[in-house]
Amino acid sequence: MIPLKYINSSTLLLLLSFLSCKDSNEYRVESTFVDYLNRFQTEAKKRDKNFDVQSTGLIIEFADLKDNSAGLTHFENPIRIEIDKTYWDAISKSVGADLMKEDLIFHELGHGLLKRKHLNTTLENGDWKSIMCGGDKINGRTWNINYKGFRRTYYLNELFNESTSAPEFSSLQLKVDTTGYTSKLFLNFNSIDHAGWAIKDTLQYKTSIYDGRLKFESKVNDIFLVYIKTAIDIQTDFSYEFTIQYPTGAVVNQYGMIFGYVPDKSDGINDPIEYFTINNNKKMFMGNHSWYSYFTELNQNSILPNGINKLKIVKSGKLLYYFINNTYTYCSEIEVSENGNRFGFMVPPQGTVYIENLKISQRKISGSALKINQNMNVEFELKTIKPFNNTILNK
């Protein structure tokens, strides 16, 4: 840069002339972002908003952003949006990457084209009200949004119209019949003979019966997914419940229930396993292990930190209804599309959990009878996985 004191009037006029020649209608969008920009323009047009950025100008480019930023909008002329290359490449390797990328690009375009600011309010069920959430952290909560299925339609409507009414899915009034499920498998862990699970002490873990509960002690630094193979297909209507306690360990560690599909010869890295977990910091999470991270994080006062918590999921059609200590907390669509029959629980690294009264029920299929199996021996399997991605990204 030329020091100002050395610039004469002629040079200053030439410099100002050069700066004024910057093309305010420059259109330069990295090829990988073009499809998402086209989607944004299409969704905008459906809602009577038209953006001809190819004529008026827009820049979207990769950058090496700092402070865990996933995206950044510069209010220049034209608008310039930067997307962190490392984050984009990381999510590209996971299922759900397309929707995560759309969420990010639409958020930044919400700033740049819709002139929207961050909005960090929540719906009745704790979901973020808008994909425009971001900026300063709210109690350290992540900006993960359950942006898929019927939720996506709501979030798109709200993006283009901030006055959009609260969606039906955000209500904490349970509007579905969760009765009519018959017990298929019940384990009470009153004795080794009734435990179902193998009781053993290995280099990686130890199982035992303690005070009428299954005690699982992990000896490794990874997360344990511990499950049984059942005769119950996760694509049918079922309910799954147990009580669980994680009395010691870091309050941020997640523990809870898992179910889903495990391919033959799986290494456990990206198995399409659904999970419903809590931690002792009164947080609830739901997601699928094949995704980059959990769908969303919710504050739940019904959780008893370090205490005994009853978790329950009821599946009806494609929807999962989540309960904590008999309180309805959330609903979401099942992500697994394959038939599967694994049900189990998640154990934090080097953690100890206690499981009690594990029950799996199934809604009767018309014209068929359900065989009830109480305290049966089951096939016991487990895998270790790396801790979930909990990076708090800035938007």
Domain boundaries along the sequence of the chain: 21-170, 181-385
Q: Which CATH class is domain 181-385?
A: mainly beta
Handedness of CA 122, 304, 181, 361 (dihedral sign): positive
pLDDT of residue 193: 78
H helices of the chain, in order, are 9-20, 31-46, 53-56, 85-91, 97-112, 149-160, 192-195
Distance CA 34, CA 43 (A): 14
**Tokens for 297?**
């994080």
Write out the chain's pLDDT in tens, 395 residues: 333 333 344 443 444 444 445 578 999 999 999 999 999 999 999 999 999 999 999 999 999 999 889 999 999 999 999 999 999 999 999 999 999 999 999 999 999 999 999 999 999 999 999 999 998 888 888 899 999 999 999 999 999 999 999 999 999 999 888 889 999 999 888 888 777 788 999 999 999 999 999 999 999 999 999 999 898 999 999 999 999 999 999 999 999 999 998 887 777 677 889 999 999 999 999 999 999 999 999 999 999 999 999 999 999 999 999 999 999 999 999 999 999 999 999 999 999 999 999 999 999 765 554 454 555 556 678 888 877 665 556 77
Contact 61, 82 (CB under 8 A): yes
Residue 242: phi and psi, rounded to 5, are: -170, 165
pLDDT of residue 264: 75
pLDDT of residue 372: 47
Handedness of CA 201, 206, 210, 214 (dihedral sign): negative
pLDDT of residue 366: 57
H helices of 78-234, in order, are 85-91, 97-112, 149-160, 192-195
